[in-house]
Structure 1
C-alpha cells in the first residue's frame, strides 16, 4: 500500500501524492515514513526530504527549511516554512 504524502508551505500545497517512502530531516535525526507508520509529530531541521516514489527507484530530493512533520493514519504531512 502506498503512503499519502503532502508537502505544504504557508503559501500553498506543493505536493499531494502517493509514494513508497519519505525520509524527513527531523530535528532529532532523519526518519523514514512508510505506510502504516505509528502516528507522531516532529520538528524538522533545514535539509532535504527524500521522496521514494517506488521501492527500488531513485529518491527525489526536496530542499526544506524549518517546520513540522506529522504522521497520522491518513499519511505524512510536512508543513515547511520554505520548500523547493
Structure 2
C-alpha cells in the first residue's frame, strides 16, 4: 500500500505522488506518516520534509517554511508557505 502525498505552496503544486512514508517537521516534533495513519492536523516548523519512496531507501528532502499538514482519508497534504528542493 502507498500513501498519497501532496506538497502545495501558494504558487504551485510542488509534489503529488504515492510514496512509502513522509516525515514532517511539526511544531510539536517531527512525525512520520504512512498509509492508514489516523487523521491528524498540525502547523509546520521550518525544516525539511523527508520523502521515502520505498522502505529502507534514502529520503528525498524538501525544505519547507511555515504552513500546515493534514492527514486524512485522502492521504497527507502539506500546505507550506515556501518549499525548496
- Category of TM-score, reference length = shorter chain: over 0.9
Per-residue displacement from partner, 1:32-83 (whole Å, max 9, x unpaired)? 0000000010000000000000002100110000100000011000000000
Tell me the TM-score normalised to structure 2 length. 0.97
* Separation of aligned partners in 2, 1:48 and 1:71: 17
How many residues align? The count is 84
Q: Which TM-score applies when normalising by structure 1? A: 0.99
Gaps of 5+ in 1: none
Which residue is 2:2 aligned to?
Answer: 2
Give the Cα–Cα distance (whole angstroms) in 1 for the partners of residues 83 and 59 of structure 2.
16
SS at match of 1:58: coil
RMSD of aligned alpha carbons: 0.4
